[in-house]
Structure 1
């Protein structure tokens, strides 16, 4: 997405009771190009925002923030999403306490082999959704750039 400079993939933890390491990413972005509420909306629409599946908390649906201002913005965005969906959003806002990167073999998983079954089944539909519904901020796919 335009305005996203870097994404660090790994494991994130917060304060108790959410202090178990969970898979997640840290998104480095330019708020002059893409705002936190837009990033939250993209996350909510492409993630299990209303689901309850979370084995051992490893896949909790959460937005991790660095400061109280981000906490307020993210919480407001989640509340607006839940109201529009007429459903309770399970996504929570948590303070980021720790981060450790994934093993090298999992870094850039999609880019290293987008033909993997997991990529085709789970990642491709999310990327397609972003391209269709957030076209103004979506970076074109490599196939869109071919002559």
Structure 2
């Protein structure tokens, strides 16, 4: 079992995306801080996964394609576009994969590879948010469109027993 952190959009969206994948065994949703200058907490998830079922490269590709990885908008402090790694091998792989995916996008990818420092789990009422509340307006307007991208672009990774969409 491996783990990796992802941040980029609201953690409810990111949580639902990674919960919907084969090979992902757990998604912890909350806030991550990193080593160095970006040490403030930002909305993110930690994904526990089985690399033999879903490689880290695929998880990174899914992450980049399901959030605004090229947009340096005003909410980036709260929604830092990042891959949070737990060792140097992960960092190297993540940096290479981001470079490999640059041609998929019209603008430069701003997603950074950062060393994981700390994690704060969200409160119970916000965990598993999408799958507990798929009919809420936020879920329909923000999460469901991202899940459609997942289904359209990465259908072979989707756990259809878990996945819900309109």
TM-score above 0.5, yes or no: yes
Structure 2: unaligned runs, 5 residues or longer: 1-20
1:54–1:60 CA contact under 8 A, matched in 2: no
Q: Deviations over 1:9-44 (max 9, x none)?
A: 011000121100000000000000101110000000
Structure 1: unaligned runs, 5 residues or longer: none
The structure 1 segments of at least 4 consecutive aligned residues displaced by more than 6 Å after TM superposition are none
How far apart in 2 are the matches of 1:16 and 1:113? 36
1:39-50 matched pairs, under 5 angstroms: 39-50=59-70
3-state SS of 2:134 partner = coil
Q: Which moved more, 1:74-83 or 1:20-29?
A: 74-83
State the partner residue of 2:94.
74
Structure 1 residue corresponding to 2:147, chosen from 93, 118, 127: 127
Higher relative contact order (CA 8 A, sep 6+): 2
State the partner residue of 2:136.
116
Q: Deviations over 1:66-107 (max 9, x none)?
A: 011110111111111123425210100000000010122211
CA RMSD of aligned residues (A): 1.6
Instruction: Tell me the TM-score normalised to structure 2 length.
Output: 0.81
Residues 83, 142 of structure 1: alpha-carbon distance in 2 compared, 3 angstrom cutoff: closer
Instruction: Tell me the TM-score normalised to structure 1 length.
Output: 0.91
Q: Deviations over 1:80-139 (max 9, x none)?
A: 112342521010000000001012221111111111111001110111111121111111
Larger Rg computed on CA atoms: 1
